[in-house]
Amino acid sequence: MKKAIEELQPYIPEQPLEELQSELGLSKLVRLSANENPYGTSETVKDAVVNWAYSQSNRYPDGDATELRNLISEKFSLDPKQIVFGVGLDEVIVMLSRVFLEPGDEELISSPTFSEYALHAEIEEAVIKKVPVLANGGIDFSNMLKAITPKTKLVWICNPNNPTGTFENVKDIEHFVSQVPADTLVLVDEAYIDFVSEPNATAMDLTKKYPNIVVMRTFSKAYGLANFRVGYAVFSKEVAEQVQKVRLPYNVNSIAQEAATAAFKDQKFVDEVVKNNAEQRTQLEAFFDEQGIKHYQSQANFIFFEYKDADKLADYLLHNGYLIRTGLRPNWLRITVGTADDNQNIERLIKEFSK
Ligand SMILES: *Cc1c(COP(=O)(O)O)cnc(C)c1O
């Protein structure tokens, strides 16, 4: 067995909600630990999935996800060949690590960030270099640049960043990419980009200008399709062709393709989700400010905040029906922005606990 696997600390998925709820003897438990969509899924997805012909079950899916590919290409004015689909963005991260990292290569990440980047680099026996975020939680681009060596193959920019929630504008990203060596790939993970309130947030257009930039998206968050597992990356055409070689030919099943297609067509649902999230995010940040609870400025659907008895607070919330994310940084917690109801309850519970 590879030594890297024996030593690997695996990603621990969320415990099934019903199971945890009954263990705790609760009548209701809301998960605000996984940045899921609290507003559900577009109604049109239901129709698409229910209407999907059962009679096609014996056939392999469309290995190119043609309809979804064409829709996305049109929306962002891309060549359809620039897109590679994955079983969630998770699988795209696996493919990228597999294609670009050899043992001893370096991968550069900002810290803290999404844990899967380092996990898959470890599996490929690459060396992970971390550059701490700035005091405001943002990416330290100048120290990231300094940390790049001839061995650096991948650089991850999670934007907005999970878990800090902070956002980098396209100008800063372009300024960074323009100074990165041409054979170092810059990966911009835009899992939460729909939630950004500023206009022109996406770095998608940079894929037409720089062959070494990749922009990644998922249907799991704003589109409310976490269970269907659909994500994609946008590359320059030449790089996409290489990554396609390692993709399993039928990775995204037909029902997932149908669901993502329907969800993508219903931008009204996404706009509504984004609007509600922005309102509740503002509300929750104002509450933290009022309470003197330090937090980063979020442009995502979650907020990262500091609390001196963090684990105890998380435990108190859990026993009162709200699961939030611990263990990302000592005395810091990440909470998904829930509905107005959730917010009111969370604020009441935090006030109660802080007394
Ligand atoms: C949720 C998340 C993903 C994974 O998305 P899936 O498409 O559900 O696999 C990727 N990157 C970041 C930063 C995330 O938070």
Cis peptide before 150 (omega within 30 of 0): no
pLDDT in tens, 78-87: 999 999 999 9
Q: Fold for domain 44-265? A: Aspartate Aminotransferase; domain 2 (3.40.640)
> Mean pLDDT, to the nearest integer, of 147-173?
98
Q: Is the Cβ atom of 236 under 6 angstroms away from ligand 1? A: no
Q: Is the Cβ atom of 158 under 6 angstroms away from ligand 1? A: yes
Distance 240 CA to ligand 1 centre (A): 20
Residue of 31, 32, 90, 194 to mutate, ligand 1, most atoms within 8 A of C-beta: 90
Sole residue written with tokens 């099934």: 16
**What value does the mean pLDDT of the chain take?**
96
pLDDT in tens, 29-47: 999 999 999 999 999 999 8
Closest CA to 171 of 144, 220, 205, 148: 205
Count of beta carbons in the 10 Å neighbourhood of residue 353: 15
> Mean pLDDT, to the nearest integer, of 193-211?
95
pLDDT of residue 238: 87
Q: How far apart are CA 210 and CA 208, in angstroms?
A: 6
Q: How far apart are CA 35 and CA 183, in angstroms?
A: 33
CA 181 to chain centre: 26
Does pLDDT of 54 surpass 80? no
Question: Which atom of ligand 1 is least distant from the CA of 92?
Answer: 9
pLDDT of residue 11: 87
pLDDT in tens, 234-285: 999 889 999 999 999 999 999 999 999 999 999 999 999 999 999 999 999 9
pLDDT of residue 110: 98
Distance 239 CA to ligand 1 centre (A): 22
pLDDT in tens, 316-330: 999 999 999 999 999
129 pairs with which residues across the strands?
108
Domain boundaries, the chain: 3-41+268-354, 44-265
Q: What is the pTM of this model?
A: 0.97
Q: How far apart are CA 38 and CA 252, in angstroms?
A: 24
Give the whole-number percent of the chain exceeding pLDDT 90. Answer: 93
Dihedral sign for Cα 63, 68, 70, 73, please: negative
Q: State which CATH number among 3.90.1150.10, 3.40.50.300, 3.40.50.2300, 3.40.50.360 fits the domain covering 3-41+268-354.
A: 3.90.1150.10
Residue of 41, 110, 114 to mutate, ligand 1, most atoms within 8 A of C-beta: 114
Q: Is the Cβ atom of 233 under 6 angstroms away from ligand 1? A: no
Distance 220 CA to ligand 1 centre (A): 7
